[in-house]
Amino acid sequence: MTRGLVLAAALALGAGPVQAQGLGGAGTVQGTVKDPTGAGMASVTVDLSNPVSGLRRSTTTDEHGLFVFHNLPPNPYHLEVTAQGFTSFETDVDVRSAVPVDVQVPMKLAGTAEAVQVVGHAEDLVERSPTAHTDIDESLIARLPIPSAAVGLNEVIIKAAPGVVADSNGFFHPVGDHAQTQFSIDNQPVTDQQSRIYSNQLSPDAVQAMEVITGVAPAEYGDKSSLVVHIVTKSGLDQPKPTGEFLAGFGTFSTPTVDASVGMGSHRFGNFAAFTGVSTDRYLGHARVRRPARPRLEWLFL
Instruction: Supply the pLDDT for residue 199.
Output: 62
Residue 16 lies in a domain: yes
Residue 170, pLDDT score: 64
- 14 and 60 share a domain? no
Judge if 8 and 84 occupy the same domain.
no
Same domain, 12 and 102: no
In a domain, 116, yes or no: no
The CATH number linked to 283 is 2.170.130.10
221 with 284, same domain: the answer is yes
One domain for residues 16 and 36 = no
CA distance 88 to 235: 30
The pTM of the full predicted model, rounded to 2 decimals, is 0.66
pLDDT at residue 54, rounded to an integer: 78
User: How many domains does the structure of the chain reveal?
Assistant: 2
pLDDT at 90: 92
| Burial class of residue 120 in the structure, from the number of CB atoms within 10 Å of its CB (0-12 exposed, 13-18 middle, 19+ buried) | exposed
Res 20: pLDDT: 35
pLDDT at residue number 103 = 94
Which domain range does residue 101 map to?
A: 28-106
State the pLDDT at residue 283: 60
Cα–Cα distance list, 5 to 29, 116, 240, 259, 263 (Å) = 40, 63, 28, 10, 20
pLDDT tens figures, 181-232:
888 888 788 876 666 566 667 778 888 888 888 877 777 777 766 788 888 8
| pLDDT at 2 (0 to 100) | 42
The whole-number pLDDT of residue 10 equals 39
Residue 38 to residues 80, 101, 104, Cα–Cα distance (Å) = 19, 20, 11
Domain boundary among 91, 106, 121: 106
Name which of 251, 258, 254 is nearest 281 in CA terms: 254
Whether residue 257 sits in one domain with residue 160: yes
Q: Indicate whether 16 and 49 sit together in one domain.
A: no
pLDDT at 105: 94
On whether residue 120 sits in a domain, the answer given is: no
Same domain, 100 and 211: no
Return averaged pLDDT per consecutive 10 residues of the chain, 302 residues in all: 42 37 70 93 93 84 92 88 92 87 92 53 57 83 73 81 78 73 82 63 83 80 78 81 82 79 79 78 54 47 44
Domain annotation covers residue 113:
no
Contacts of residue 121, defined as CB under 8 A and 6 or more positions apart, other chains included, come to: none
Where a domain ends, among 89, 106, 123? 106
Q: Are residues 151 and 292 in the same domain?
A: yes
Asked if the structure places residue 118 within a domain, the reply is: no
